[in-house]
Structure 1
Amino acid sequence: MATTAKQNTNKSYWGWLAVIGVFLLTKAKWLLVILKLGKFATLASMFISLWAYAIFYGWKFAIALVYLIFIHEMGHLVAAKIKNIPTSPAVFIPFLGAAIGIDPKKIDNAKTEFFVAYGGPLAGLISIIPAFALYMTTGDPYWVLVIQLGALINLFNLFPVSPLDGGRIVSVLSPNIWLVGLLILIPVLFISPDPILILIFIFGLVTWWKQFKKNTDLAIMKHEENVLTKINKDFQFLTNNNTGWPKDIDHSEQDLTANQYTSLFVKIKERKDQINRYLQNNTGFTFPVLQEKKRTEIKKNKAEKEILRRILNEMNIREDTLEVDTAIRFASVIENIYNKNENRLLKIRKEIKRIKTYYKTSVGTKVKSLVLYLSLAILLAIILVFASNILDSSQLPGL
């Protein structure tokens, strides 16, 4: 028995909610497992999606939808391949579209992210061309439905909220645009509380918050860099002046070295105690965004405390008596701590550089990207209106 439009709508609504619930509850771990299965996952998930769409909307609609989503994802894969970025095969997710796995660390800058993201909607535009040709040849309004659906999917994907393609595309201009997109989405959600839009809003908000926190992360890393650099200067002094303790070393020289070593320990410990007092006096709740400066300061102190805690533990001095273990080889311990700090500094400086340069692009690149983005959005909008006008005066039997 054929289902009515109202029944289809209700089934679709609850079907979407069920899929979204499972997706959130599992935190997408199942998707990561599927992505590792390779090309088989693409084929299997494609047929599952085809079957799911067909149950609610009919086979003709399901085939069109899967075809359009497939071409869209192939656009991302081709763009990533051009940039030599490894990806996993595409995996279809019923009622949510499809996804490909890309390691964010393989994308060095927003310009590359724009290129990979733009490949999807651009391929989506190209996927509509055969439907145009078939409609002009046959006059069958079904092909207009394919045109409308293709334009709608890809135009929707251009909305400037991450993780949609539009959000990743506009990041080359400024990631601050994501907040504008979220603010626009809020009244839309009140007017039409669609589960897919709700899911996009939630993920978009999380992505924006992570980006907003980048300034805090950067401040913390810079503080860690300063702390480690300062401490290593003290350790370098000891390293340069003490290369080991031979058996015939003069006892007074050893005492002097032990005193220097202990003094450095005391200095580090006093700073750690100072941080503890600060943190004890700042244990109350701080509001995100509104009290971000205070939140950042607290996090900087916590990061420094962890660095100092690690170093004090490795210095092997009893805090109650400040006695140095007589078996300790000072040069070896000092060098070990120094090298660990240097390795950490290399990682921090690399990450600081990545964060500071990721969204830096020339004015020319920004202008070209904006023109490409708006041109594609306008063209898809025109196609959508064109197809909708034809469908308004046509009927689509058997869908």
Structure 2
Amino acid sequence: MKGSALVSKNRNRSFLVAIGLFLLSKFKWAIALLKFTKFGGTLLTMGASLGVYAWAYGWKFAAAIVYLIFVHEMGHIIAAKRKGIATSPAFFIPFVGALISLKEQPRDAATEAYLAYGGPLAGLISFLPAVGIYYFTEEPFWALVIFLGALLNLFNLLPVSPLDGGRIVSVLSSKIWFIGLLILAGILIFSPSSSPILFFILLIGVFTWWGRIREGYKNKLLSYEKEKLNAFQAELKQWPSYSSTIGLKESLNRITKEANGKVATARKWYIPFLHDQEREARDKAKVDLAYAEEARMLIMQWEHQPVFYVDNDPQRPEVSPLLSAVHAKLDERLSIVNEQLERLRTYYVSTPAVKWKVLTAYVALAIVLSLFMIYGQHLMELHQVDL
């Protein structure tokens, strides 16, 4: 009975430690910390983590966990370099793991999956030497390395964004994220003693999944903004030919009045999908208001500037430097909007061949890690390893 309780205790402690290792590595706000580090920050934070883990669990455990985390993150970095994407150095956080940031966004989900897959794959390779060493020495420490390495990387393969598994399966379908959320929810419901970290991962996963299914709505608003930007640019080209701004101001006042009416009468709370049309009308009205306000302020500046004509021909007014600067600003914003629309349209689009490769690699890695985790757990039970 005592041995069984000890094994159960070992398993629970191993699980709780492992599932927290990569939490903050998935928090976007934590990436800001990397701006203050150079490569030396990796060694410094690695040393700090080593000391903290040693204080809490002993030097052997500390060396094993820091080594496993380091190789995992190096897998991400190597994969990113193979795709030509620059990264920051790894930054270690005790009881959390390590994180890196990408200095540019992947061009598509397939590229992101490649980068994500590099971590768990390197994680698998990291503990394979321990299998051979244990075979010859039967030292319990190497059983711990096998179990912990397999569990660490297998957990990170859960199909929940922003874990690596969620980023990998997004190539297949981001709808799979919902399955991962159900798995996490089930663990929390049927295992009340699970680490609170699971709850935060679930929360982040829900927001990520929700943002994905609401991309259609975002696409509509961006498309409308693109229409307004194009219309605004076309209007600006006509301004120099106007003999008076009265008609222009009246038009802007009418737009402002109509938009204010839509915003004022809009409901305060919206049920997603059910009230999308009403919310879309309100949000478009806000875009109209922003456009009208910018145009009104521009008119106030422009109408006080002198008008010059090409070859002194009153039928050929020159475009003022003020309007030229506004055109450039609108072009820049239009470029950003077009880029966002293109990303929404194509980011998750992949060929069947790519999907099959990703699925095969994902399932194969998950199976291998599961087998090693079972094997490592069996060895630990034989030796009753205390974590």
If the length of structure 2 is used for normalisation, what is the TM-score?
Answer: 0.84
Alpha-carbon distance in structure 2 between the residues aligned to 1:218 and 1:207: 17
1:34 CA drift (Å) = 4.6
Bigger mean CA deviation after superposition, 56-65 or 226-235: 226-235
Alpha-carbon distance in structure 2 between the residues aligned to 1:380 and 1:215: 36
Residue of structure 1 equivalent to 2:131: 132
Q: Contact (CA 8 Å) 2:255, 2:288: kept in 1 or not?
A: no
Question: Which residue of 224, 243, 246 maps to 1:258?
Answer: 243
- 1:261-340 equivalences under 5 Å are 261-288=245-272, 290-316=274-300, 325=303, 327-329=305-307, 331-332=319-320, 334-340=323-329
Secondary structure at the counterpart of residue 258 of structure 1:
coil
Residue of structure 2 equivalent to 1:86: 86
Alpha-carbon distance in structure 1 between the residues aligned to 2:338 and 2:128: 48
Bigger mean CA deviation after superposition, 56-65 or 160-169: 56-65
Question: How many residue pairs get matched?
Answer: 364
Distance change >3 Å, CA 380–CA 295, structure 1 → 2: same
> Is 1:373 aligned to residue 374 of structure 2?
no
Q: Contact (CA 8 Å) 1:35, 1:90: kept in 2 or not?
A: no
Residue of structure 2 equivalent to 1:355: 344
Alpha-carbon distance in structure 2 between the residues aligned to 1:231 and 1:157: 48
Alpha-carbon distance in structure 2 between the residues aligned to 1:123 and 1:13: 22
Residue of structure 2 equivalent to 1:54: 54
Residue of structure 1 equivalent to 2:158: 159
Secondary structure at the counterpart of residue 316 of structure 1:
helix
Structure 1, unaligned stretches of length 5 or more?
Answer: 243-256, 318-323
Q: Contact (CA 8 Å) 1:236, 1:338: kept in 2 or not?
A: no
1:131 CA drift (Å) = 0.3
Amino acid at match of 2:168: I
Q: Contact (CA 8 Å) 1:189, 1:197: kept in 2 or not?
A: yes
1:280 CA drift (Å) = 0.6
Alpha-carbon distance in structure 2 between the residues aligned to 1:354 and 1:185: 29
Residue of structure 1 equivalent to 2:171: 172
> Is 1:40 aligned to residue 25 of structure 2?
no
Alpha-carbon distance in structure 2 between the residues aligned to 1:346 and 1:91: 34
Alpha-carbon distance in structure 1 between the residues aligned to 2:60 and 2:326: 67
Alpha-carbon distance in structure 2 between the residues aligned to 1:224 and 1:138: 67
Secondary structure at the counterpart of residue 135 of structure 1:
helix
Distance change >3 Å, CA 362–CA 267, structure 1 → 2: same
Distance change >3 Å, CA 339–CA 78, structure 1 → 2: closer
Q: CA RMSD in A?
A: 3.1
Encode CA deviations 1:287-313: one digit per residue, 9 max, x unaligned: 345534433332222123212211121
1:92 CA drift (Å) = 1.1
Alpha-carbon distance in structure 1 between the residues aligned to 2:200 and 2:160: 12
Secondary structure at the counterpart of residue 98 of structure 2:
strand
Alpha-carbon distance in structure 2 between the residues aligned to 1:124 and 1:100: 16
Residue of structure 1 equivalent to 2:311: none
Residue of structure 2 equivalent to 1:252: none
Distance change >3 Å, CA 336–CA 58, structure 1 → 2: closer
Amino acid at match of 2:383: S
Encode CA deviations 1:63-101: one digit per residue, 9 max, x unaligned: 111111111011001111111111111111111111111
Q: Contact (CA 8 Å) 2:146, 2:373: kept in 1 or not?
A: yes
1:325 CA drift (Å) = 4.3
Amino acid at match of 1:369: V
1:13 CA drift (Å) = 8.0
Secondary structure at the counterpart of residue 65 of structure 1:
helix
Bigger mean CA deviation after superposition, 328-337 or 191-200: 328-337
Encode CA deviations 1:25-72: one digit per residue, 9 max, x unaligned: xx9867633553112211111122112222222221121111111110
Alpha-carbon distance in structure 1 between the residues aligned to 2:181 and 2:336: 33
Alpha-carbon distance in structure 1 between the residues aligned to 2:362 and 2:79: 16
Residue of structure 2 equivalent to 1:147: 146
Residue of structure 2 equivalent to 1:63: 63
Bigger mean CA deviation after superposition, 123-132 or 306-315: 306-315
Secondary structure at the counterpart of residue 159 of structure 1:
coil
1:163 CA drift (Å) = 1.6
1:120 CA drift (Å) = 0.1
Secondary structure at the counterpart of residue 106 of structure 1:
coil
Alpha-carbon distance in structure 2 between the residues aligned to 1:194 and 1:369: 30
Q: Contact (CA 8 Å) 2:262, 2:281: kept in 1 or not?
A: no
Alpha-carbon distance in structure 1 between the residues aligned to 2:33 and 2:306: 48
Residue of structure 2 equivalent to 1:249: none
Secondary structure at the counterpart of residue 89 of structure 2:
coil
Larger RCO: 1 or 2 (CA < 8 Å, sep 6+): 2
Alpha-carbon distance in structure 2 between the residues aligned to 1:134 and 1:73: 24
Amino acid at match of 1:258: S
Encode CA deviations 1:237-268: one digit per residue, 9 max, x unaligned: 445xx3xxxxxxxxxxxxxx324x43233223
Structure 2, unaligned stretches of length 5 or more?
Answer: 308-316
1:334 CA drift (Å) = 4.8
Alpha-carbon distance in structure 2 between the residues aligned to 1:89 and 1:335: 42
Secondary structure at the counterpart of residue 385 of structure 2:
coil
- 1:73-112 equivalences under 5 Å are 73-103=73-103, 105-112=104-111
1:386 CA drift (Å) = 1.7
1:344 CA drift (Å) = 2.2
Alpha-carbon distance in structure 2 between the residues aligned to 1:117 and 1:224: 33
Question: Which residue of 364, 368, 371 maps to 1:382?
Answer: 371
> Is 1:205 aligned to residue 206 of structure 2?
yes
Residue of structure 2 equivalent to 1:251: none
Q: Contact (CA 8 Å) 1:163, 1:203: kept in 2 or not?
A: yes
